[in-house]
Amino acid sequence: MPIRTKLTQLLGLKHPIVQGGMMWVGRAPLAAAVSNAGGLGILTGLTQPTPEALRDEIRNCRAKLTANQPFGVNLTFLPTISPPPYKEYAQVIIDEKVPVVETAGNNPGEFIEMFKRAGIFTIHKCVAVRHAMTAERIGVDMVSMDGFECAGHPGMDELTLMILLAKSSKKLKIPFLASGGMGDGQGLAAALALGAEGINMGTRFVATKEAPVHNNIKQALVDGDERNTALIYRPLRNTARVYKNKPAVQVNEIEKEKQSNLVFEDIQPLVAGNLGRQAMESGEIDAGIWTAGPVMGLIDDVPTCQELLDRIVKEAEDIVREKLVSRIY
């Protein structure tokens, strides 16, 4: 029997599993594969260099869909001196009638209003319950709670997912997802037990056959364990969790040396986004910084998205049926 939650009911999904937006990874081949497998695939809006390029990628994703499943687009609002044309990206999403938008970063209030008027379901990623309560007030339909275990930016509170989920279940009226450290059926069962309506996975989807990254990156996730991540940008109060490769170690060394005197320019040559993209596309593990979470300790293979989702759901069903129920009764 499928696992039914508010997520599956609201979006018409087969499985309560969302593929998070990931820079350079959230492209049409992966997003379509996740949606075709019964989950919610997500295109990463800012991976595309222009709004028109995003339009093409949306149409490419839609052409690859074989099942009657929705997909979404991630739009992350970053603090930057020269912001991208967010309104133009948002308008493309609306024009193309994308059914779901995942927002992240700064307060998305202005854009949530645009998406809601267009009838688009909105999910906002949060690293703190207070942020989730704000998102609820501005009309977001669902939030994704990101624990300190997540790849990318886990926030400065450094709160683990278990605490975030337990508190969210007490404080929020809107449904929420579990994100950070999710990669198997045990995680899904635990998330549901803590009140989440599904899980949001990033790193685990990188190690799938359809992920548009070099096989060396996928193999690095299989070979790595939960200790193979590094936290960078902490002195700049913008913590990011990345794969622990040579440039990440160098960044940590410079941060330790400079401490409170660190400025971004001290590490900029090591963390340029184009270098991370080069690493993922060329397979040169140490070419640049790329994000990964400690969930790699649970990654032992590179399955198709269909195989992965079916396995996770079956594991979760077996845990609930055989382990939890038998312990209670």
What does DSSP assign to residue 46? G
Question: Which residues are paired to 291 by β-bridges?
Answer: 242
Q: How far is CA 177 from CA 11, 20, 180, 299, in A?
A: 13, 11, 10, 21
Q: Are 7 and 13 in contact (CB under 8 A)?
A: yes
Q: H or E segment at 43?
A: strand 41-44
How high is the mean pLDDT in each 10-residue block of the chain (329 residues)?
92 97 96 98 98 98 92 92 92 98 94 97 97 97 97 93 98 98 98 97 98 98 98 95 98 96 95 94 97 98 98 95 62
Question: Facing residues of 142 across strands?
Answer: 123
Q: Is the pTM of this model over 0.85?
A: yes
* DSSP for 80-132, written as a single string: -SS---HHHHHHHHHHTT-SEEEEEES--HHHHHHHHHTT-EEEEEESSHHHH
Output the pLDDT for position 225. 97
DSSP code of 2?
P
The whole-number pLDDT of residue 148 equals 97
Q: Please tell me the chain's helix, strand, coil percentages from 3-state DSSP, rounded to the nearest 5.
A: 50, 15, 35
Distance of alpha carbon 311 from alpha carbon 231, whole angstroms: 31
Amino acid 323: pLDDT? 66
Name the β-bridge partners of 144: 125, 177
Residue the block writes with tokens 């660190």? 262
State both tokens at 173: 């009226």
3-state secondary structure of 236: helix
- Adjacent-strand bridge partners of 75: 103
**Domain architecture of the chain: domains with CATH:** 6-213 (3.20.20.70), 229-291 (no CATH)
Instruction: Provide the pLDDT for residue 24.
Output: 95
3-state class (DSSP) for residue 198? coil
Q: What burial letters (b/e) apply to 15-44, b meaning 16+ CB within 10 Å?
A: bbbbbbbbbbbbbbbbbbbbbbbbbbbbbb
